[in-house]
Amino acid sequence: MNFKVCGVSVRGRSHEIENSPCQDSIFYKNYKNKSFIALGDGAGSKKFSQIGSKVITAQICDILNKNFDFIYKAKVDEAKRFIINNLWTSLQKEATKKEIAISELSSTLMFIGIKGSKVIIGHIGDGMICMKKGDKIEILSKSEEREYLNMTYFVSPKNIVKLNLFKGGLEVLKLVKGFFLFTDGCENFLYSKKLNSINPILKDVLDFLNKKSEKQVNKQLKLSINSCIKEKKSFDDCSLGILSINSNKKVIPINRGIGKKIIYKKLD
């Protein structure tokens, strides 16, 4: 299988007003038979959470690249502990380096890793993960309902159980053409809570990615997010990542980009 990946993070209006940085981060790497993409949303109440989201999105892609087979074969609980503990170690090192409390680096995390025909999907905190299967967009993972608004889970050893992890073979995900990850800043435009459905515009975005270069798609994504979501639907930072699967087209090499619940069901 061949893959193309792209994605952007756009600073929200609230952060522009405060003259504060975008707290979302996106990171991706693409190889001949492997592809990884991750998206993090830093805690709004933490001063340096944009650093935390940047660290964990880069690190999870590195962890998956170096330990994919181990994570794929391990029992789910063991795989969760391995992932979270390694990410926590990276955050501890960053906190020590910056001389700040590790809680200041709090961030949610979504990620997808594919190696050959095997896929690993993980999600902790807010945001959504979807996939295009045939002509439909299906929800794979979404934010857990919480008792209070503006509350979520962040990467931390105490939240290992909250990391929802899915591992499977792409051969059972018949007709899957791509995956989408987006933060809660994009949800008002891309997701209808009333209908529990995804905006079909994502199918057009995936088709556009298959025809154009990553640079062209990222440029258009920024324009679209600014005009359709940021200015009309959300004050929050907005991030969208896309991983396209195509078994027939030639791979276009792409370098890194920076910027809940998993539904366990049989995918026919």
- Domains of the chain from N-terminus onward: 2-246 (3.60.40.10)
Triad 193, 198, 200: Cα angle to 5°: 145
CA–CA distance, 148 with 171 (Å, rounded to integer) = 39
Could you tell me how far CA 195 lies from the centroid of its own chain?
23
pTM of the full structure: 0.87
| Residues in a beta bridge with 123 | 110, 164
CA–CA distance, 151 with 260 (Å, rounded to integer) = 13
CA–CA distance, 37 with 233 (Å, rounded to integer) = 25
CB 84, CB 71: distance < 8 Å: no
pLDDT tens for residues 136-148? Answer: 999 999 987 665 5
The residue whose two tokens read 């529990």 is 196
pLDDT at 245 over 80: yes
pLDDT tens for residues 74-132? Answer: 999 999 999 999 999 999 999 999 999 999 999 999 999 999 889 999 999 999 999 99
